[in-house]
Amino acid sequence: MTEISRRQLLLSAAAFSAAPLFIGRAQATDTDVLVIGAGAAGISAARALKSRGYSVITIEASGRIGGRILTDNESFGVPFDMGASRLHNRENNPFADYGLANGFDIYRAPDETLMYVGDRPINDSEKAAFFQAQRKALRAMWRAGRDELDVSPASVIPDLGDWGLTVDFLIGAYEIAKDLDSFSCVDWYTAAGGSDFYCRQGIGTLFQHSARDVAVQTDVTAEKIRWGGQGVTVETSEGTITAKAVVVTVSTGVLASGDIEFDPPLPVKKQEAIQELPMGHYFHVGLQMSKNIFGTGADAYFNYKVDEEVDGSPKAFGALTNAGGTDLCYFDMGGDFAKHLLEAGNNAAYDFVVSELKRMFGNHIEKYIVESNSYDWLHDPYTYGSYAAAKPGGFWARDEMRENIADRIWFAGEAMSDDDWSTIAGAHKSGLIVAEEISEVL
């Protein structure tokens, strides 16, 4: 990626604040299509169906729209994206275009990276060894994906020596939210590449603005979906809704939890597909620093050589320093180690980040920490994780989840995207595809 110059100071997020169209509670009613979930997939499906002339009701179990897209504008005085924090694959990302057209500061992620070994920057020989190990791993994964070997990266990557855990973290936990033994090479191979971009006002702020035109009933939980007769009847926490079709956009974590009952049960193949697409684990710890301890420019990455593991999962974080040119830094954990920290509770993640920073930069660094915040997606009952990746042997599951049930139930979301899974754009496009399919049936 090419370097870019430092951009202007943060624009006030308040200038872009806009509430979506929240409407009253669900009641016994008829509609053409019921959309369950108001994340990127639900909003795009509802909008597209409405534009085609169908009556649409969109319900959301939580008290807000966005799902895993959430910007905290209060903790640090600057935007902190607690979930999705980047616009992946800019070339095919409609939210980047929307932001640019509506006054948001959308800019390319710089390519500055600082890497440490122990308490010092990496030297040239170490850097060469690291890049060689990384190339070996990526080459093995690429070949397996190309040859349609639906196996884990761990099963095809050769011994990488001292750099094994570091590569495991950077390719697996830090990108896929799973360790190298837990996802499919074919699934990884099909993911779209492209440049990452940021939104200075926050991805959640951008999404809220983009969804202003879609009416959503919040705090309405879908409890049971009856699809045995004609049409679909959905029992919710606020009443019963009947529809000709339903679009289910909740995460595979929610589907696997059984929180939404299907009557009759989903076909066995669909149930198996849900189990093959489990949620990964990934979260940020945001630290506001009074001093730039890294000495990096805006939006620079910080990584380090990983030497420890917990039950086979690399014990590490990756960092985005000086986010948007501010004093806010993101420290990201992923994979089973992230799950371990979230289950430990009691500030375990904060304590881990600070202990690692002290080890590399000295005990004095804690005095530069002004404020902290993070979000636990694992225990959020509306997500149960970060995003989905297919298990080894489970690549088929995405195709299965894209198949509707009896021309009445469709599933949409990042997990159903064919090449943009784990992204906002992928969820958005999944909703559009489902809307098109429904319009051909109704």
Digit-coded pLDDT (tens) for 415-430: 999 888 999 999 999 9
Question: Do both 314 and 357 map to the same domain?
Answer: yes
pLDDT of residue 28: 54
Backbone torsions φ then ψ of 71, nearest 5 degrees? -105, 125
Alpha helix (H) residue ranges in 28-150: 40-51, 94-101, 124-146
Distance CA 148, CA 156 (A): 13
CATH number, domain of 173, equals: 3.90.660.10
Question: Do both 300 and 330 map to the same domain?
Answer: yes
Question: Do both 172 and 288 map to the same domain?
Answer: yes
Helix 348-361 and helix 335-344: axis angle, to 10°? 120
Per-residue pLDDT, averaged over 136-153, amounts to: 98
Question: Do both 302 and 432 map to the same domain?
Answer: no
Question: Do both 159 and 300 map to the same domain?
Answer: yes
Question: Do both 243 and 313 map to the same domain?
Answer: no
Look at the block and give the residue holding tokens 């919040």: 218
- Asked if residue 53 belongs to a domain, the reply is yes
Query: Residue 1 — pLDDT band, cuts 50, 70, 90?
Result: very low
Ramachandran category for residue 324: left, alpha or beta (phi over 0 → left; psi -120 to 50 → alpha): left
Domain region containing 367: 111-191+282-374
**Contact status, residue 232 vs residue 34, Cβ threshold 8 Å:** yes
Best CA proximity match to 83, nearest among 432, 424, 427: 424
Best CA proximity match to 441, nearest among 258, 243, 298: 243
Beta strand segments in 187-276, E: 197-199, 215-218, 222-226, 232-236, 239-248, 261-263
- Asked if residue 90 belongs to a domain, the reply is yes
Look at the block and give the residue holding tokens 């950077």: 170
Distance CA 132, CA 128 (A): 6
Measured in whole angstroms, the distance separating CA 306 from the mean position of its chain's CA atoms is 24
What's the length of the chain?
Answer: 442
- Asked if residue 169 belongs to a domain, the reply is yes
Question: Do both 262 and 286 map to the same domain?
Answer: no
Question: Do both 217 and 289 map to the same domain?
Answer: no
- Asked if residue 388 belongs to a domain, the reply is no
User: What separation in angstroms does the CA of 220 have from each of 23, 27, 204?
Assistant: 11, 10, 21
- Asked if residue 99 belongs to a domain, the reply is yes
Distance CA 326, CA 324 (A): 5
- Asked if residue 11 belongs to a domain, the reply is no
Question: Do both 224 and 75 map to the same domain?
Answer: yes
- Asked if residue 12 belongs to a domain, the reply is no
- Asked if residue 7 belongs to a domain, the reply is no
| Encoded amino acid at 26, one letter | A
Residue 264: is it exposed, middle or buried by C-beta count within 10 angstroms (0-12/13-18/19+)? exposed
Question: Do both 345 and 427 map to the same domain?
Answer: no
Given a cut of 50, whether residue 434 has pLDDT beyond it is yes
pLDDT per residue over 249-299, tens digit each? 999 999 999 999 999 999 999 999 999 999 999 999 999 999 999 999 999
User: What is the three-class DSSP state of 371?
Assistant: strand
For the entire predicted model, the pTM comes to 0.92
pLDDT of residue 29: 62
**Contact status, residue 400 vs residue 269, Cβ threshold 8 Å:** yes
Beta strand segments in 3-92, E: 21-22, 29-36, 56-60, 71-72, 80-81
Number of domains in the chain: 2
**Contact status, residue 225 vs residue 409, Cβ threshold 8 Å:** yes
**Contact status, residue 163 vs residue 129, Cβ threshold 8 Å:** yes
pLDDT per residue over 116-138, tens digit each? 999 999 999 999 999 999 999 99
Question: Do both 328 and 203 map to the same domain?
Answer: no
Ramachandran category for residue 413: left, alpha or beta (phi over 0 → left; psi -120 to 50 → alpha): left
User: What is the three-class DSSP state of 4?
Assistant: coil
DSSP 162: G
**Contact status, residue 283 vs residue 386, Cβ threshold 8 Å:** yes
- Take residue 9 and report the two structure tokens written for it: 């100071």
Query: Residue 17 — pLDDT band, cuts 50, 70, 90?
Result: very low
Domain boundary among 320, 343, 374: 374
Question: Do both 293 and 165 map to the same domain?
Answer: yes
Terminal Cα distance for the chain, rounded: 45
